[in-house]
Amino acid sequence: MISRLKKKLYLIAASYFRFWSNFSLKRWKPRVIAVTGSVGKTTMLRMLEIQLGKKAHYSHNANSAFGIAFDIVGLKGVTNSKWRWLYLLVAVPIKSLIYKHQEEFYVVEIDGERPKETQFLANWLRPEVALWVSLGRSHAVFYDQQVKNGLFDNVDQAIAHEFGYLPRNTKKLVIATSGNHLINQQIEDISAEVRMVDIKDLQSYEVWADKTRFSLKAGRVEFSCPMPEEVAVQLLMLEKLVEYLEIDLELNMYQFQPAPGRNNFLPGKKGLKLIDSSYNAHLISMKSILQMMQKMKADHKWLVIGDMTEQGAGEADQHQKLGEELAKVEAERYVLVGRRVGNYTKPALEKAGLGEKTVHFDHASKALDYLKSELSGKETVLFKGSQYLEWIVEKLLADPGDKVKLPRQEPSAVRRRAKWGLK
């Protein structure tokens, strides 16, 4: 009852800000390019930024009903003080009447974290172009109730239906990844043109700890950071988009800077090669990054894996499958941090005969102590999952100044870690 009330109040409050921000949006009249999916949205947005440059405004750090409304009127959301809500209640109406962006395009990231949120945004923005990059069980806990109520057979269908509001409300062009039957179901009979991309069109893929090379029909693309093979999907989508916009494709991605906690290469103490992917985790992103590690040209691979949160009723199943995916990577050590990976992932690794290479800790501080004592400096270490793994990465950095490249560095996040004794 309380949960349903909170959801209703969320959209009611968001409607207030949408009402006012819409005045600014109507004066602006941008060509809206919307990006959605369970994983890879931010990467796609940053690649679009390299492609379109100053022709577009980008919704960095704003992918929710509230964040996008604030972004349209040039305001930031609530990050630290709750008193800022009072400021925004007054500031948004005023800014909506006097402010507008000037760029031709609005490239906006749309999340499907809550039921009805994608619907809320899609009905409002009605993009010219939509890019649907992926589908998986992100924020699955928020969709359990819909399955219990009999609206869908499973969580996957519920999430796909929510994301599907975006292509159903797109005016001209939908670009989507092929091979997913749930995505295919959602884009059947929509009014917009549909162009599909297939990762099979990738000609070659090479990855190191500090760079990645893709070969496509259009040419060779290089990044100065490790990138999963699935990023080829975003590159192929970019090809389709520039073809539609009738502009040249930008192949130079060496200037690409990943968002904090998304495949960042960071030099570590004693020569360690750290790969920070600790921003979030669910099975689809875990599989992607683990496949990257398996193909990476590196010796002495270590995996530091935290819990996958917000998995709802599928928590045990998803963490057991995580263990099966980890077992496919030829790693020297599997370091698990958190209750869920201890209960469900560790037994799966033991079943695969990797028990001697696996260690588990309930707390990040104990995991850090272990890493400090066992790492020689020759290792390439991946960090993926929750349980404040970014704090462990911080303590292993060769340059303390690289802390700014880590996720969750805002004061409120620092205070939360401090409550767990992580200072």
Question: Which band of pLDDT confidence, cut at 50, 70 and 90, is reported for residue 2?
Answer: very low
SS3 sequence of the chain: CHHHHHHHHHHHHHHHHHHHHHHHHHHHCCEEEEEECCCCHHHHHHHHHHHHHHHEEECCCCCCHHHHHHHHCCCCCCCCCCCHHHHHHHHHHHHHHHCCCCCCEEEEEECCCCCCHHHHHHHHHCCCEEEECCCCCCCHHHHHHHHHCCCCCCHHHHHHHHHCHHHHCCCCEEEEECCCHHHHHHCCCCCCEEEEECHHHCCEEEECCCCEEEEECCEEEEECCCCCCCHHHHHHHHHHHHHHHCCCCCCECCCCCCCCCCCEEEEEHHHCEEEEECCCCCHHHHHHHHHHHHHCCCCCEEEEEECCCCCHHHHHHHHHHHHHHHCCCCCCEEEEECHHHHHHHHHHHHHCCCHHHEEEECCHHHHHHHHHHHCCCCCEEEEECCCCHHHHHHHHECCHHHHHHCCCCCHHHHHHHHHCCCC
C-alpha closest to that of 289 among 357, 202, 185, 212: 212
pLDDT single digits (tens) 339-366: 999 999 999 999 999 999 999 999 999 9
In the chain, what percentage of residues exceed pLDDT 70?
98
- Both tokens of 331, joined, read 């790693």
Cβ distance 205 to 232 under 8 Å?
Answer: yes
Domain extents in the chain: 2-245, 264-419
Mean pLDDT of 162-183: 96
Buried b (16+ CB within 10 A) or exposed e, 395-404: bbbeeeebee
pLDDT per residue over 284-322, tens digit each? 889 999 999 999 999 999 999 999 887 888 889 999 999
**Fold of the 2-245 domain:** UDP-N-acetylmuramoyl-L-alanine:D-glutamate ligase (3.40.1190)
pTM of the model: 0.89
pLDDT in tens, 244-259: 999 999 888 988 988 8
Check pLDDT > 90 for residue 203: yes
Q: Per-residue pLDDT tens for 222-237?
A: 999 999 999 999 999 9
Residues 78-114 pLDDT 10s? 776 778 899 999 999 999 999 999 999 999 999 877 8
**Is pLDDT at 26 greater than 50 in this prediction?**
yes
The CATH superfamily label for domain 264-419 reads Mur ligase, C-terminal domain (3.90.190.20)
pLDDT at residue 4 greater than cutoff 70 = no
pLDDT > 90 in the chain, percent: 77
